[in-house]
Amino acid sequence: MSRIGKAPITIPKGVTIDISKGNLVTVKGPKGELKQQCDHDLTLGIEDGVLNISRPTEQKRHKSVHGLNRSLINNMVLGVSEGWTKTLELVGVGYRVSNTGNLLELTLGYSHPIFFAVPDEVKVEAKMEKGAPPTIILTSHDNQLIGQIAAKIRAFRKIEPYKGKGVRFKGEEIRRKAGKTAGA
């Protein structure tokens, strides 16, 4: 069996999981509610506060969706109970960020500022501290949505490999390239 797929999902206090007809999984918790349509061949069962997912056969398709659906449901459970956070840093001279509610204003070295509207499910916070690069902190209960929003913000100015300027995730390692050297 899949090592990820066979791992049970422990349901924390305050979280309820409802499995309706057609394997539609609804997870409710203190941070919000999420829904995910699971593969119709998988069998989902809740016993003693633990959710188990099993597959009917050893076919390649069943193996591939087994671990995927388990990971998606586990991320939903963690999201509605604890929440998810992503932190982005703006590295570069003159790079700035500010927010008004869920509207981000980014200054990333272009001739114009970039305005980006963040969905209501995601809370955004912009920090500009002296001696540290400007940071954007995204928090939400939906891991897929927060990852997609972070990727869109990062795509406004990708990290360039020579000076390392651009928008990056906090703690991300950047492969740097050597610049040109003078010829003899």
- Over residues 142-166, the pLDDT tens digits come to 999 999 999 999 999 999 999 999 9
For the chain, the DSSP string reads --TTTTS-EE--TT-EEEEETTTEEEEEETTEEEEEE--TTSEEEEETTEEEEE-SS--HHHHHHHHHHHHHHHHHHHHHHT-EEEEEEEESTT-EEEEETTEEEEE-SSSS-EEEEPPTTSEEEEE--TTS--EEEEEES-HHHHHHHHHHHHHTSPPPTTT--EEEETT-------------
- Arithmetic mean of pLDDT, 4-27: 91
CATH architecture of structural domain 84-169? Alpha-Beta Complex (3.90)
CATH 3.90.930.12 in the chain, residues? 9-81, 84-169
Better pLDDT: 182 or 120:
120
pLDDT surpasses 60 at 110: yes
Q: What mean pLDDT do residues 52-72 have?
A: 91
Task: Mention the CATH class of domain 9-81.
Answer: alpha beta
